[in-house]
Amino acid sequence: QVQLQQSGPGLVKPSQTLSLTCAISGDSVSSNSAAWNWIRQSPSRGLEWLGRTYYRSKWYNDYAVSVKSRISINPDTSKNQFSLQLNSVTPEDTAVYYCARGRSWSYYDFWGQGTLVTVSS
């Protein structure tokens, strides 16, 4: 059974960097059949895909256009986890952030528990 365990701060100041980590058990971040995603949810924006990282002989990343200029998703093979960094946050980035395993380029079958991140001074 795949499990995703999220960690990271729940409060970030405006203009600073939001950083979250998703530890994977039951699968590998280097899997050739999965992609590792970050998704957020807020009342104003609903469920919003942020980006993904995946390994297919080399590492690839895809990011949502809305955050492309300030996002980075990185794998850590030594710890079997992946991370999210979102720079220059504003209160609009306040949301519950989820990590999720993507399969067949089309759906998410396992999700982390979610982390409420509030952007406030």
Question: Applying CB under 8 A, what is the total number of residues that bind other proteins?
Answer: 23
- Residue 43 in the binding site for other proteins (CB under 8 A): no
Q: Are the CB atoms for 95 and 117 separated by under 8 Å?
A: yes
Residue of 83, 95, 98, 117 interacting with other proteins (CB under 8 A): 98
Q: Say which residue the tokens 């059974």 belong to.
A: 1
Residue of 65, 78, 90, 121 interacting with other proteins (CB under 8 A): 65
Per-position DSSP letters for 16-63, written without gaps between them: S-EEEEEEEESS-TT-SSEEEEEEEEETTTEEEEEEEEEESSSEEEEE
- Residue 104 in the binding site for other proteins (CB under 8 A): yes
Radius of gyration from C-alpha coordinates of the chain: 14
Stretch that binds other proteins, among 11-19, 22-30, 45-53, 75-83 (CB under 8 A): 45-53
C-beta of 27 vs 62, nearer to other proteins: 62
Task: At 7, list the tokens.
Answer: 């960690």
C-beta of 48 vs 76, nearer to other proteins: 48
- Binding residues vs other proteins (CB under 8 A): 37, 39, 46-49, 52, 62, 64-65, 98, 100, 103-109, 111-114
